[in-house]
Amino acid sequence: LWEWRNEEGMRQASFQSAPVPLADHEAWLARVVMDPSIRLLVASDESGHDIGYIRFNILEQARQAEVSVCLDRQQRSRGLGAALIAAGCESLWVERPELEVVALVKEQNAASRAAFEAAGFLAIGTRSHDDHVVHELRRRLVRDQVREA
């Protein structure tokens, strides 16, 4: 996780673009795994090699979960981002079907925006976040509705 977090492409896409020292990352990770409002899932390929992660920060009052995703540099541009996002959301909704998932994507990060849209997210608009212009995308669980004839 630490190496992915500090990879140049990931740092450019992140709202905190400075490198993270290992000790700081370890302290952060220790907090994350104990925090019931955060879900962190690591994705593996068919061979069992870790290829990325998805994290949800649950905002109880808003009934939302903010999503963050990272793919290993060698796994990018293969459509895996959309698959990871979709699978991560489905996993979250098993426990928390009422949550709307919100993605904030830096304006210049076209690949990430495309991955979220391919995973069923709808673009809501742009806004400012942490001194960056971001696209806001959202997705809710859609339940099949049975229609009576």
Summarised one tens digit per residue, pLDDT across range 63-80 is 999 999 989 888 777 878
pTM, two decimal places: 0.85
Q: How far is CA 95 from the centre of its chain?
A: 17
Whether 133 has a pLDDT exceeding 90, the answer reads no
139/135 Cα distance (integer angstroms): 13
Give 57's contacts (C-beta < 8 A, 6+ positions apart): 37, 38, 65, 66, 68
Of 2-11, 25-34, 72-81, 102-111, give the lowest mean pLDDT range.
2-11
- Percentage of the chain exceeding pLDDT 70: 89
User: pLDDT at position 145, please?
Assistant: 30
Give 34's contacts (C-beta < 8 A, 6+ positions apart): none
Residue 101 to residues 10, 107, 142, 144, 146, Cα–Cα distance (Å): 21, 19, 12, 19, 24
| Burial class of residue 70 in the structure, from the number of CB atoms within 10 Å of its CB (0-12 exposed, 13-18 middle, 19+ buried) | buried
User: pLDDT at position 142, please?
Assistant: 76
